[in-house]
Amino acid sequence: MSAATRFVLLAVVALYCVAPFLWQLISSLKPAGELLALPPLLPTRMSFAHYAAVFGDHAFARMIANSVIVATATTMLSLAVGALAAFALSVLRLPHRTAMLGMLLAVSMFPPIATVSPLFLLLNAVGLRDTLFALILTYTTFSLPLSVWLLARFFDQLPRELYVAARADGCTAFGALRRVILPLSTPGLLAAGLLVFVFCWNEFLFALSFTATQASRTIPVGIALFPGLHEIPYGEIAAASVVATLPVVALAFAFQRRIFDGLTAGAVKG
Amino acid sequence: MRTERGRERAGWYLVPAGALLCVVVLFPMVYVGWLSLERWSLLEGPARWIGLDNYLRVASDGRFWNALGNTVYFTVVSVLAELALGLAIALLLHRQGRGRALLYGVVLLPWAVPTAVSARMWEWMYNTEIGVINYLIGVEVNWLGSPGWAMHAAIAMDVWKSTPFVALLLIAGLQGIPGDLYRAAAVDGARGAMVLRTITLPLLAPVMLVAVVFRAIDAFRVFDTIYVLTGGGPADSTETLSIYVYRTLFHSLEFGYGSALAVVTLGCAALLTMAYVRLLTWRTQ
């Protein structure tokens, strides 16, 4: 394959991947008058009116805040709970490791729709429906397979002597985890944390089912149910979509190597 | 003695994870089974135990079979397309030196964008009058509003969203193939297509299988894409199992029958998962 063909093909792939996002970005910058007509493809002048409308909307700010709170809290909780479990399975060599990791894998393959009705009724019964806590609880649990698997795999690669030496120097097992294992596992924690964060930021089914009002509505649900009964506010949807997407896009570019490693870790090495 | 006590304590580290899994996964699984044996509609009042009647209803429910057929069609077509396209992209990208970080970031983009938001983007592109797709190819197709097109429009979006994941898995697989093999093949005079057929594809086959099963399990539970793009319409032509369960639960408010449908969906997904586990054990042998 010649260098030129190769370059063209790479450009086609890149364009295919970014096109919908690019089109949304272009649409979000079009003045209202040009939005509902094609041609022109590109706006004749840039307008930030849709962004102003979105940021002026109290409900939108609330959705962003909800998503940030849920994703951040879940990521921290999932890493904490996941690190404890991975520590037991990897460093402490708890028996039945394979069976337990297999069970977690089964949970990750589970269709979430199967638990929606009981969880909905349960949350309703204990008065937790339409709260951020309900989402944090659900997301933390469903992200455990990811964090436990990735962290256990990472802990496995640390030299066991580190743990033994820490114990010999008088650390408790928990002390060894906190003072020795975790500080050395920053790359693993980062990879797992990134994937969990993206999962929370993007989750839709539970968020749609459990949230009823602005109190707990997250970004994907807000954008999917964007108000507008008769006239769909395409410009505002476009602007909101761009804003909602930017954080994960930034993460994808900044940490592409870590995400790549995290995503492919399980599949390739078995 | 000492290791025994150590192990006993090691169990405590699993308590938080175990508690969460019990409350959020295990208990609901048992509860959904129980619910599926009840006639319980929020519109009709108190629940009544009706044994397996809901399951009999599933078996003779044309809408269920339609949803199952749609789900299988969606899964098979999108996963095959993702495999083909993902392989092409992986072969193109895996030995790319310059601009590698940028390209990986770009390829990760469809994966990173929330699916519900992507669906809104595609809905806008699919628009009949002012959509960029119709404009660029010079037609006036009602992509999301015609039963023949809607499912394929949803598949096209899923392919866009999930191909990067497949491509990345395959790139990781390609990087695991020892370079010596290629050098030996070159010495023996093997070229392009021959190398692909005799070295790359056979050695990549295990990773391709894993990618296919991974994606199939995920595609089988498709919800976000279809909920936002078409809501299951037109005329139920894009209604998949997850969508049908959701509508039964939250639109018809039939928690008993919806739960039975959910259990059946879970059973189908379990079959796929078992296939995956068999695959893993077959690979390690």
Which tens digits make up the pLDDT trace of B228-273? 999 888 999 999 999 999 999 999 899 999 999 999 999 999 888 8
Rg (CA), chain B: 24
A24 — contact with chain B (CB < 8 Å)?
Answer: yes
Which tens digits make up the pLDDT trace of B176-188? 888 888 888 888 8
Closest listed residue to residue B241, CA positions, set B225, B256, B223 = B223
Calpha distance B218→B79 (Å, rounded) = 10
Q: Tokens in use for A219? A: 């970004």
Q: Which residue has the higher pLDDT, A70 or A160?
A: A70
Q: Tokens in use for A121? A: 């009724």
Token match 């879970």: residue? B266
What is the DSSP code (8-state) at residue A179?
I
Does the structural domain B63-284 have CATH classification 1.10.3720.10? yes
Distance from CA of A59 to the nearest CA of B (A): 17
Is the bond preceding residue B234 a cis peptide, omega within 30 degrees?
yes
Does the structural domain A53-269 have CATH classification 1.10.3720.10? yes
Distance from CA of B148 to the nearest CA of A (A): 23
Is residue A270 very low, low, confident or very high in pLDDT (cuts 50, 70, 90)? Answer: very low
User: What pLDDT, on the 0 to 100 scale, is given for residue B4?
Assistant: 46
Task: Check: CB of residue A210 under 8 Å from CB of residue A142.
Answer: no
Q: Which residue has the higher pLDDT, A134 or B194?
A: A134
Phi, psi (deg, nearest 5) at residue B48: -135, 135
Calpha distance B73→B62 (Å, rounded) = 16
User: What pLDDT, on the 0 to 100 scale, is given for residue B283?
Assistant: 65
A12 — contact with chain B (CB < 8 Å)?
Answer: no
Domain boundaries, chain B: 2-49, 63-284
Mean pLDDT of the region A172-197? 92
Q: Quick one: angle between helices A58-90 and A132-157, nearest 10? A: 40
Is residue B8 very low, low, confident or very high in pLDDT (cuts 50, 70, 90)? Answer: low
ipTM for this prediction: 0.90
User: In the predicted model, is pLDDT for residue B205 greater than 80?
Assistant: yes
Collect all residues with Cβ–Cβ distance below 8 Å to A135 and sequence separation of at least 6: A70, A74, A203, A206, A207, A210, A211, A216, A218
**Which of A38, A256, A260 to substitute to test the interface with B, most B CBs within 10 Å?**
A256
Collect all residues with Cβ–Cβ distance below 8 Å to A242 and sequence separation of at least 6: A21, A24, A25, A28
User: What pLDDT, on the 0 to 100 scale, is given for residue B221?
Assistant: 93
Token match 């290791």: residue? B3
How far is C-alpha A169 from the chain's CA centre?
39
Mean pLDDT of the region A113-135? 93
Residues of A in contact with B269 (CB under 8 A): 109-111, 114
Q: For chain A, give the mean pLDDT.
A: 88
Calpha distance B77→B80 (Å, rounded) = 5
User: In the predicted model, is pLDDT for residue B33 greater than 70?
Assistant: yes
Domain boundaries, chain A: 1-47, 53-269
User: In the predicted model, is pLDDT for residue B135 greater than 80?
Assistant: yes
Look up the pTM and report it. Answer: 0.92
**Nearest C-alpha in A relative to B115:** A202
